[in-house]
Amino acid sequence: MTYDTIKVERRGAVTLVTFDRPKALNALSSAVLADLTEAFAACDADDSQRCLVLTGSEKAFAAGADIKEMAPQSFGDMYGSNFFAGWEAVTRTRKPWIAAVAGYALGGGCEVAMMADILIAADTAVFGQPEIKLGVIPGMGGSQRLTHAIGKAKAMEMILTGRNMKAAEAEASGLVAKVVPADSLIDEAMKMAETIAAMPPLAAMAAKEAVNGTYEMTLAQGINFERRVFHGLFGTEDQKEGMAAFSEKRAGDFKGR
């Protein structure tokens, strides 16, 4: 399957998706959203694929939603089409996925990166929510996810002033899991994705569901949910294989059943 705005490559059990609108710094148009949701859904539906990496170019992961596409829209256009609601599909991806960010991750670019299960940054990465300078506010979850990730103090400051945050500060603030040299970003992201891909896939999906549950549930609900999911994994063949492999001092061979 080929796409107009992204490149998709299967590397073993990992799907590598690369934004491919270099002239617009990977601005997230409606066409990008359509391509991305199809590629993510294809990965989810493919038993041979166990993890996904989303990346951009050296200069820009994505410089935001497509300002030129949005500029002429009226309230009626935006409200009527429920503009940006389609991005929810990306957040419903069941397999674990990693955003590997180099260069600009601004506005919608920062928001997509924050939808990922794990965010890895190159030392060149720049995060920001500059929408206020355009007379709007974040519209793809930034006001919520940035605040969850780095706390109200810094999120409010960034969103009200439009100030950007470089990679080192993003790591210190808890926005990203890891900062790596720009020239090893893809290798590092692929290495992490391959590690995840070697894990029992049902446990991996369940783990991300449990962690993401912290956004939606109280502590008591979340702990109860975690325990039930933990119990449920005892119904899988991979749990038997994983625990047998431990006793037999060998690597587990996980089938996703």
Of these residues, 111, 113, 128, 142, which one is catalytic?
A: 111
> Least distance from C-beta 72 to ligand CAA, angstroms?
13
**What Å distances lie between residue 232 and 24, 74, 87, 235, CA to CA?**
46, 48, 29, 6
Residues 6 or more apart whose CB falls under 8 angstroms from that of 67 comprise 27, 134
Catalytic-residue membership of 157: no
* Cβ pair 120, 184 in contact under 8 A: no
Selected binder of ligand CAA within 19, 61, 104, 254 (CB under 6 A): 104
> Least distance from C-beta 19 to ligand CAA, angstroms?
12
Site for ligand CAA in 6-35 (CB under 6 A): 24-25, 27
CB of 67 or CB of 78, closer to ligand CAA: 67
Catalytic-residue membership of 209: no
Of these residues, 13, 103, 131, 207, which one is catalytic?
A: 131
Of these residues, 64, 107, 108, 128, which one is catalytic?
A: 108
Catalytic-residue membership of 111: yes
Of these residues, 24, 27, 39, 65, which one is catalytic?
A: 65
**Apex CA 118: angle with CA 37 and CA 45, to 5°?**
35
Helix (H) or strand (E) holding 79: helix 75-81
**Cβ-based neighbour number of residue 165 at 10 Å:** 24
Q: Is the dihedral of CA 154, 105, 85, 18 positive or negative?
A: negative
Residues lying near ligand CAA in the complex (CB under 6 A) are found at 24-25, 27, 63-68, 104, 106-108, 111, 130-131, 134, 138-140, 142
Catalytic residues, by residue number, are: 65, 108, 111, 131
